[in-house]
Amino acid sequence: MPKKFLKKQTTLFQRKVYEIVKKIPKGKFLTYKNVAELAGFPKAWRAVGNILNKNQNPKIPCHRVIRTDGRVGGYNQGMKKKIYLLKKEGIIIKHGKIASRFIK
């Protein structure tokens, strides 16, 4: 089977989401809504979550995307791993919520 059939197809929106998330620096984060807005689809925050949940590329730091209410949200490697990675980058989490500032 030719290699082109083995590659996973990605949409323009998925590529935009991955590019935005790749640019979030260590110790900073965005919300799913922020990512959707930056990608040009402000109401697609749930789609952003679904896209990031399926991501297997370690170069895309999905753990740096949180819920709008400040809670950590889901992660394809589990919430404990997401909390661990965020804390390792210096983000303060109290009572399951982020206590740091958002990047803009």
Please give the positions annotated as active site.
62
Length of the chain equals: 104
Pairing of strands 30-31, 65-66: parallel
DSSP-derived secondary structure letter, 104: -
Do 98 and 70 contact (CB within 8 A), yes or no?
yes
Do 14 and 51 contact (CB within 8 A), yes or no?
yes
Do 35 and 49 contact (CB within 8 A), yes or no?
no
